[in-house]
Structure 1
Amino acid sequence: MDKVELGSKTAKDGFRNENFVINTFNDWENNNLAKEWLESMGYNLKEIESVKAEKIKGSFKADIQVVVNVAVKLKKLQDVQNIQVKLVSNPQGFNQIDKRYLKSYVELWKIPDDILEILRYFVGENCPKILNPRDKRRMFFNEFSQIEQNKILQFFTENKTMILNDILKGRGQFASEWFLVILKIKDNNLKWILKSINEVINFYDGKVAFSPHGSLKIGKITMQRKGGNGGRESAKMLQFKINPCELFNCCQFESCIKTH
């Protein structure tokens, strides 16, 4: 069973970035937190001979790679596990899971021209085509015609499986296989949950609909214009966001808590 961890003293020092997770895994023989992570991934600790974790360099969904050497029935096996890590300090905060310029999504998802045209107005690559827009820089989905809104809903509904896999799991050698959320509450306390990426995709999946504000929701995922950046071009990127701590709700949270 996946566990939510409370009160680990391991979080007292070094909780800055992925190095915290890397160092924890690499000290697995002495570190109870690492042992519980490995057990959550399905390993029998008695069969593990070595664990080596390192940071994945570059822009990939997985942040760290963990190599686990095990010995089962006189056979030596090596598992390579790619883990996406979310270190958060606010249980109500949102975390970016993917952002790119529209041209990158066009290549990735073969977005047709009519859908691309709508998205260009949405992110601000095109100036608003209506009178008195809410934002002079761009348009919200609820400012488009009903026909245009239906086109957006249809495209993202029909391609939802591919889109969810790309923004949460990724493709290729460093696609994410596991999703680790660590919530640091106080100086000495943390909560964590570790799930397979397929469980995470299923959890965040849901109906495609427009938000009241005029962005797009894919289940528990929000698609919006990036914005900010002092007016730079990068503000026109398309961005997907989640609240990683919502994953704590996918198990009987209170019954999963342990104290260290």
Structure 2
Amino acid sequence: MDEVQVVVAHKERTTLRVGDVFLKVDADQARIDAEVEAMAMAPIPTPEILWRKPPVLALAALPGKALGRLEAPSAASRAAWAAAGAAVRKLHDAPLPERVGMSLDEILPKLEAACEWLVANEVLGADVVTRNRRIAEAALRPWTPVFVHGDLQITHVFVDGDEVTGVIDWSEGGQGDAMFDLATLTLCHEERLPDVIAGYGGEVDLDVIRGWWAVRCLQATPWLIEHGFDPWPELSVLRAQR
């Protein structure tokens, strides 16, 4: 029998790997429905759905390996990062799905609450939080919606050599800001941003990307701490932003 590997586990969702099969157990059936719908619409490679029996979704493993990890330098080539950028562009140019992502009216109160939590719990100094809240303003503006992945972490993009073999974890897929996907992909890997932009092509607003880095890290850190995860990468970004 193959070893059972716990990929991620918290009270909302658990993902297990058994051999070449990933089993996703999700308490929110709507989230699984959204993931399946987004994968069906995406114009880039996604995992094959082997079977589905709520609350479990079984997916085939993708060939290759993840583009990298948040907390370590990426060993992937510059061409692989550019290929990731090109895949994101293909997604963003695709027809819009019906699902609409979070609006500014939803993001702002969550962001303010996170900032207050970080200072009250002495996770970060008020100066660091205030500085990043200012940087975040660049992202908090109206945007033209595109088809976004919505959680395009570096670990969700798989490559084999210089080619993208697929993208996993589509539960946040829907309409959103293109710059948010690019920011999420390059979080903690700012040095790879030029390669991603080269593959992506077109207009890219660096201030907006840095703004989304601030928003994502400010919002994610309280959740990570409360769920027992180490927020060191996110804290490093917040402390480094100027």
TM norm structure 1? 0.25
More strand, by proportion: 1
Higher gyration radius (CA): 1
More helix, by proportion: 2
Q: Which has the higher contact order (CA 8 A, sep 6+)?
A: 1
TM norm structure 2? 0.26
